[in-house]
Structure 1
Amino acid sequence: MADTATTASAAAASTANASTDAPPFQLGKPRFQQTSFYGRFRHFLDIIDPRTLFVTERRLREAVQLLEDYKHGTLRPGVTNEQLWSAQKIKQAILHPDTNEKIFMPFRMSGYIPFGTPIVVGLLLPNQTLASTVFWQWLNQSHNACVNYANRNATKPSPASKFIQGYLGAVISAVSIAVGLNVLVQKANKFTPATRLLVQRFVPFPAVASANICNVVLMRYGELEEGIDVLDADGNLVGSSKIAARHALLETALTRVVLPMPILVLPPIVMSMLEKTALLQARPRLLLPMQSLVCLAAFGLALPLAISLFPQMSEIETSQLEPEIARATSSQTVVYNKGL
């Protein structure tokens, strides 16, 4: 009966959209094809759209209700595909796909750039002291830990103690790596002051990349112990797989290595060139605003590129999973929520 109702809603929406360019709406499915990098890139541009941060509680309720009406075949006449896609975009940007609960604004993927850019600027400030290095690395990994936890695969409950252990491990690893690299640079007597300053600017990348891997693994270690849910093509639960959990964490860790590359490598290169211009030499007060703009541009480019490497709902062959899961379904492949 539910399938018939959904089909009726789809037909109504299709009729209402005969003159628009929006593709036919599919509940729970991405608007853009996830088999290509470009399709995933367009999909995640929607996910990280900062405009969704300003969606009101009333608008969110309306979006959720519109999707419920579509699901149950009670969609009012005249609703367009574009309205349905917009409603789904709002829901996906604000609510966790597993728990259906609101994600705290600074830890949503749509808030990652606005709330993360000031931290990136702080990480790349020249002439860092030991105290400032520790502070910015701590703040960065604290933000990352909360983002990782808020956007994790939440099909299995995770105790608060796991979060605390993962958080402490991520922060300690980040601070240790960053401080250790800074000490090595300071003791490198062969470097000229200018070279030392340039090298110091690149220290945040290996520190952040290494710590990001630790952060993801430690924050989501419970998934490796408990496994994550895998679903068949019809969305039916097949079982809980530790192998799928390993794939999910590996894919997420790779994105966290790629993510800081443009953010922490490009700005130092760009700023080293801009600092030589007559404008900035004559107006040194513009250095920080200029660096902030460069970091914002690099962040805005890096985030969608990094998270587009893999689909959020990743697919894996059942033959690669545990025997009991392979026996539980006739599907050749199953899907799982990788997390973001």
Structure 2
Amino acid sequence: MADTATTASAAAAAAASAANASTDAPPFQLGKPRFQQTSFYGRFRHFLDIIDPRTLFVTERRLREAVQLLEDYKHGTLRPGVTNEQLWSAQKIKQAILHPDTNEKIFMPFRMSGYIPFGTPIVVGLLLPNQTLASTVFWQWLNQSHNACVNYANRNATKPSPASKFIQGYLGAVISAVSIAVGLNVLVQKANKFTPATRLLVQRFVPFPAVASANVCNVVLMRYGELEEGIDVLDGDGNLVGSSKIAARHALLETALTRVALPMPILVLPPAIMSMLEKTALLQARPRLLLPVQSLVCLAAFGLALPLAISLFPQMSEIETTQLEPEIARATSSRTVVYNKGL
């Protein structure tokens, strides 16, 4: 009897220990964000999870285990002792690797978690000094090609989208980026008032307006159909209220502002920092360190800029019904509705 009581007590202690192993983790909610999305800090922590590059090294076996754990939770067959932390980790892995609509694996370079590791070499190339016409065209083309593939791989796949829309957005982004970058470089080269040092410094900042304008062009062209057809708006209970063109304009404006803010620290801070570091005795004595140091500076700027930029607006944005079409306002008693802004 005593042995049985001791065993039961040990089992209870073990269960309590497992339950308390993740006291800092909030209660798990399938398909919901771990962090509150009403504050900038909550969104920032949420997107840090989404872009975590460690998920690139998750094995096929670990992915299957994560998916199975979530399936067990969904069907109420979860084994005893599984903590909230384990469930949040499993959902993070699944969301980082599998497309939410097709449930297919996203090619590694085009995952959000791969955006910084695979995008940093491109940023370094964009910021290389003494760019030729050919190198300017190459790096702008490569940057917009990578962006277009990331956009397509992480698209909303619930509705079929014609390939022509993707091609149109891709060509528009590449043409605008290359045209602006080449045009600004030509103007700088012809500016006789600049000293060679000033001309080199100005050239380093040329990629920002080119990339920022191309990003806006990419968003508008890739999602122009939303402006024509509207996007779904939902009430507080998640019920579909209707399709709103006004909400679509808000969504595209917020996304465009994010795409302008994103390259700002990435393409402005590194040139400013490198112009100071190049004057140090260390780099002047060891010019071979210039490229590795610039790569580290770009990586740090990229790692900070991406979560900050995409945290500016919540992905599920809220808007008052009085600002929408009259038929939308009449279709619900809710004071506000929400819509998916997209990334």
TM-score by shorter chain over 0.5: yes
Residue 2 of structure 1: CA displacement?
Answer: 41
Range with greater deviation from structure 2 (15-24 or 167-176): 15-24
The answer (yes or no) to whether the contact 1:151–1:339 under 8 Å persists in 2 is no
Range with greater deviation from structure 2 (17-26 or 108-117): 17-26
The 1:64–1:333 alpha-carbon spacing in structure 2 relative to 1, beyond 3 Å, is farther
The answer (yes or no) to whether the contact 2:22–2:85 under 8 Å persists in 1 is no
Structure 1 stretches of 5 or more lacking a match?
Answer: none
In structure 1, C-alpha distance between the alignment counterparts of 2:208 and 2:187, rounded to whole Å: 15
In structure 2, C-alpha distance between the alignment counterparts of 1:152 and 1:244, rounded to whole Å: 18
Q: Which whole-Å deviations, capped at 9, do the CAs of 1:128-182 have from their partners, x for residues lacking one?
A: 0000000000111111112222233344321001100110011000000000000
Residue 320 of structure 1: CA displacement?
Answer: 2.8
Residue 325 of structure 1: CA displacement?
Answer: 3.4
Residues 1:83 and 2:73 aligned together: no
Residue 236 of structure 1: CA displacement?
Answer: 3.3
The answer (yes or no) to whether the contact 2:22–2:83 under 8 Å persists in 1 is no
The answer (yes or no) to whether the contact 2:72–2:78 under 8 Å persists in 1 is yes
Q: Which whole-Å deviations, capped at 9, do the CAs of 1:6-35 have from their partners, x for residues lacking one?
A: 999999999934862111112222111111
Q: Which whole-Å deviations, capped at 9, do the CAs of 1:223-266 have from their partners, x for residues lacking one?
A: 22233333333333333332222222211111111111111111
Range with greater deviation from structure 2 (14-23 or 122-131): 14-23
The answer (yes or no) to whether the contact 1:117–1:299 under 8 Å persists in 2 is yes
The answer (yes or no) to whether the contact 1:263–1:299 under 8 Å persists in 2 is yes
The 1:53–1:8 alpha-carbon spacing in structure 2 relative to 1, beyond 3 Å, is farther
Range with greater deviation from structure 2 (44-53 or 248-257): 248-257
In structure 2, C-alpha distance between the alignment counterparts of 1:8 and 1:142, rounded to whole Å: 61
The answer (yes or no) to whether the contact 1:149–1:219 under 8 Å persists in 2 is no
* Counterpart secondary structure, 1:310: coil
In structure 2, C-alpha distance between the alignment counterparts of 1:143 and 1:280, rounded to whole Å: 31
The 1:94–1:8 alpha-carbon spacing in structure 2 relative to 1, beyond 3 Å, is farther
Residue 184 of structure 1: CA displacement?
Answer: 0.4
The 1:67–1:310 alpha-carbon spacing in structure 2 relative to 1, beyond 3 Å, is same
Residues 1:326 and 2:326 aligned together: no
In structure 2, C-alpha distance between the alignment counterparts of 1:300 and 1:2, rounded to whole Å: 58
Q: Which whole-Å deviations, capped at 9, do the CAs of 1:29-61 have from their partners, x for residues lacking one?
A: 211111111111111100000011122233223
In structure 1, C-alpha distance between the alignment counterparts of 2:2 and 2:269, rounded to whole Å: 51
The 1:315–1:253 alpha-carbon spacing in structure 2 relative to 1, beyond 3 Å, is same
The 1:295–1:93 alpha-carbon spacing in structure 2 relative to 1, beyond 3 Å, is same
Q: Which whole-Å deviations, capped at 9, do the CAs of 1:87-130 have from their partners, x for residues lacking one?
A: 11112222333444332221211111001000000000000000
The answer (yes or no) to whether the contact 1:2–1:71 under 8 Å persists in 2 is no
The answer (yes or no) to whether the contact 2:227–2:248 under 8 Å persists in 1 is yes
Equivalent pairs counted in the alignment come to: 340
In structure 2, C-alpha distance between the alignment counterparts of 1:211 and 1:100, rounded to whole Å: 30
Structure 2 stretches of 5 or more lacking a match?
Answer: none
Residue 331 of structure 1: CA displacement?
Answer: 3.2
The answer (yes or no) to whether the contact 1:170–1:215 under 8 Å persists in 2 is yes
Q: Which whole-Å deviations, capped at 9, do the CAs of 1:178-223 have from their partners, x for residues lacking one?
A: 0000000000000000000000000001111111110111122222
Q: Which residue of 2 aligns with 1:72?
A: 75
In structure 2, C-alpha distance between the alignment counterparts of 1:150 and 1:109, rounded to whole Å: 9
Q: 2:338 aligns with which of 327, 335, 338?
A: 335
Q: Which residue of 1 aligns with 2:105?
A: 102
In structure 2, C-alpha distance between the alignment counterparts of 1:158 and 1:151, rounded to whole Å: 13
Percent of aligned pairs sharing the same letter: 97
The answer (yes or no) to whether the contact 1:228–1:242 under 8 Å persists in 2 is yes
Listed as ranges, the matches of 1:241-320 within 5 Å are 241-320=244-323
Range with greater deviation from structure 2 (156-165 or 111-120): 156-165
In structure 1, C-alpha distance between the alignment counterparts of 2:244 and 2:6, rounded to whole Å: 30
Q: TM-score, normalised by structure 2?
A: 0.90
The answer (yes or no) to whether the contact 1:185–1:196 under 8 Å persists in 2 is yes
The 1:151–1:248 alpha-carbon spacing in structure 2 relative to 1, beyond 3 Å, is farther
The 1:253–1:14 alpha-carbon spacing in structure 2 relative to 1, beyond 3 Å, is farther
Q: Which whole-Å deviations, capped at 9, do the CAs of 1:44-84 have from their partners, x for residues lacking one?
A: 10000001112223322322232232223222221110011
The 1:314–1:101 alpha-carbon spacing in structure 2 relative to 1, beyond 3 Å, is farther
* Counterpart secondary structure, 1:315: strand
The 1:149–1:127 alpha-carbon spacing in structure 2 relative to 1, beyond 3 Å, is same
In structure 1, C-alpha distance between the alignment counterparts of 2:4 and 2:91, rounded to whole Å: 21
* Counterpart secondary structure, 2:81: coil
Range with greater deviation from structure 2 (23-32 or 311-320): 311-320
The answer (yes or no) to whether the contact 2:52–2:113 under 8 Å persists in 1 is yes
In structure 2, C-alpha distance between the alignment counterparts of 1:192 and 1:133, rounded to whole Å: 21
Q: CA-atom RMSD, angstroms?
A: 5.7
In structure 2, C-alpha distance between the alignment counterparts of 1:4 and 1:168, rounded to whole Å: 73
Range with greater deviation from structure 2 (299-308 or 1-10): 1-10
